[in-house]
Amino acid sequence: MTQALETQPVHWHRQPGPAPAPAQGAWSRGAVLALLQLPFMALVQRAQAVHQQHFPAGDIELASLLSVKTGGCPEDCGYCPQSIHHPTGVPATKLMGEDEVLTAARNAKAAGASRFCMGAAWRSPTDRDVDKMAGLIRAVHGLGLETCATLGMLEPAQAQTLAGAGLDYYNHNLDSASDFYPEVIATRVYQDRLDTLGHVREAGIKVCCGGIVGLGETREQRAGLIAELANLNPAPESVPVNNLVRVEGTPLAGNEPVDPFEVVRVIAAARITMPTSRVRLSAGRRELGDGIQALCFMAGANSIFYGDKLLVTGNPDVVDDRALLRRLDLPITSELAK
C-alpha cells in the first residue's frame, strides 16, 4: 500500500544546501529513502538541477516497444497478463516474421522513435530462438534505429550472439527491491535477474533495467529498488519506471493505485542517483495524466515508450504524445540530430 506523503510545509528560504551526493555505485537504501522523504518540491528542484547538468538540451528520447512473441510465458509474475498462470485471455503467438517486424520498425522511425525494442514472452529463449532474434536485430539495425530486446534470462553465449548481431540494449528489469520480489514472482529468484544482467554486460551490450511502482511495496522498498539499480556497476544506461497497469485476471488487479506523486518521487530519486542514465517514463504513464507526466519530465524523466501497440503513423496515442511534448516545449532526441 502507498505510504502517506510528507505533510510538512516547504520553506524554500530555510532549506539548507543539499548534502553532496554519494559517488555513483555507493547509494545505500537509507540514503535513497532520505531522498524520497524530502519535501516534494525540494526533491523535484534537486532532481531538475542534476538533470540540467547532465542533459542540458532537455530532449526526450522516444522508444517504441513491439511484442514480437506474445503470451504463453511460464513465469508467474503477478502483474503480467502474458503469464500462463493468470486467466487474462491473452493468446500465445509465434514469433513474428521479419517483414512484419520491419514494417513496425519503419513506422516507429517515421513517427520519431530513435530506439526500437522487441519483446518476447519467454522465461529463457532457446539457442534457436536467439538465432532468430539475431536476424531481426540485424534487420532493424539496418534501418538506422537503436535496437533493444527483452527476451527473458540469457546464458553468456546467447548474450554474445545478440551482441554479434549488433544489439545496442538489453532490457531485463529488477521489478522491485530484493526483499519484496518473492511477493510478486515465485518462478525465479532475484539472482537470476542479476546473473542475466551480468552476462549482458560481459557481452558489451548496454543495459536497460528498472522496475514497477504500485506492486504493493512500501516507500522504503522503492528506495531499495533504486539503490539496487544505482549500485549496479555501472548503473543502467536506461532506467524504465513503470506505473503498475492493473490487468483483470492478474493477482495484482485489485491493488489500490499508487498516489501519482509517488511516481514523480521515484523518477526524481532515479535521476539523482543515476545522473547520466536515460530515465524512461514507461507503462501506465497515460493513466497519470498530462500534469503528472509534466512533473515527471521536470523531475528528470527524459525518455518515454511511444506507441504501445503495432505502430502506424497517426496512432492516436502517438499524436497525443507529440502534442504534449510540444505544449511543454520539450525537443525530441531524434529531431535534434537532424
Distance CA 256, CA 4 (A): 13
Amino acid at 229: L
Q: Which of 29, 46, 77, 209 is catalytic?
A: 77
Q: Which of 29, 46, 115, 117 is catalytic?
A: 117
Active-site residue, 80 included: yes
Distance CA 30, CA 15 (A): 20
Kind of pairing, strands 303-305 and 238-243? unpaired
3-state SS string for 259-308? CHHHHHHHHHHHHHHCCCCEEEECCCCHHHHHHHHHHHHHCCCCEEECCC
Active-site residue, 117 included: yes
Active-site residue, 280 included: yes
Active-site residue, 322 included: no
Torsion angle of alpha carbons 166, 169, 172, 176, nearest 10°? Answer: 170
Q: Which of 46, 148, 219, 222 is catalytic?
A: 148
Q: Which of 29, 73, 265, 271 is catalytic?
A: 73
Q: Which of 29, 46, 193, 208 is catalytic?
A: 208
Q: Which of 29, 80, 115, 296 is catalytic?
A: 80
Catalytic positions: 73, 77, 80, 117, 148, 208, 280
